[in-house]
Structure 1
């Protein structure tokens, strides 16, 4: 049970990050009710909506209009490639999904792919059983 939870927990947390991004997108950014509220008053919901929208609109770095979420996802993907740890792979996967849902499609998809592949590889190598017919440094015995 513990092994299953250890393998499934990062993926469940990625889905939670995607749920948060979907709630921001469909609950705040694309909601006509929130837009009407923000036209008439200045509530906390309006500030959260404004900063969420600014995250995917502003981000023209080196004349490449990606958005801040995309740049964060690309940085997390680079970190996952350089630093081979499950936390870095999870961060790339989660930020990639977050960016993908919040309109930064290309960098989000790239970070999601890189992070997912790194996370699967790290989980597969950590969960691989040891071969009882091999000793230490990959030496093959003549007889089992």
Structure 2
């Protein structure tokens, strides 16, 4: 397998990991620290307090979960790599950002769809699968 093909197979999974790491950073470094929450609520916090407020409002309204579920439905309806990756990435993000039910479902659906699409795109031509789709005589 060429390195270019290997990269095209690994890249979606690496980007899912990046989405999960981004969500972990957002949760543990921006949302959860009590000192930052007190500073932001007092009005004398750092410049990224509006980002923190937006992140908190999004998980309180379950927006991450709804986005992940919408991406999972899109991945089931549209058989392409991008919606499958999007469902897995948003599922991982939602899972980290306090939307575990919808996040887990979207991560599962997106991962399974991504695996399926990658398997059908890379399956070798075998005895029962012909690349040119011509009829073959039976022995």
1:14 aligns with 2:9: no
Tell me if structure 1 keeps the 8 A contact 2:36–2:45. no
Which residue of 67, 74, 77 maps to 2:72? 77
The alignment's C-alpha RMSD in Å is 1.8
Normalised by the length of structure 1, the TM-score is: 0.85
Which sections of structure 2, spanning at least 5 residues, go unmatched?
none
Higher RCO by CA contacts (8 Å cutoff, separation 6 or greater) = 2
Tell me if structure 2 keeps the 8 A contact 1:134–1:140. no
Equivalent residues in 2 for 1:1-144 (5 A)? 1-40=3-42, 41-58=44-61, 67-131=62-126, 135=130, 136=133, 139=136, 141-142=138-139
The alpha-carbon deviation at position 141 of structure 1 amounts to 3.9
Q: For each residue in 1:92-134, what CA deviation from the matched residue of structure 2 results, as whole angstroms up to 9, or x when unmatched?
A: 0000000000000100000000000000000000011112675
Comparing both structures, which one devotes a greater share of its residues to strand? Answer: 1
Larger mean Cα displacement after TM superposition, 132-141 or 69-78 = 132-141
Tell me if structure 2 keeps the 8 A contact 1:133–1:140. no
Structure 2 CA distance for partners of 1:29 and 1:3, relative to 1, 3 Å: same
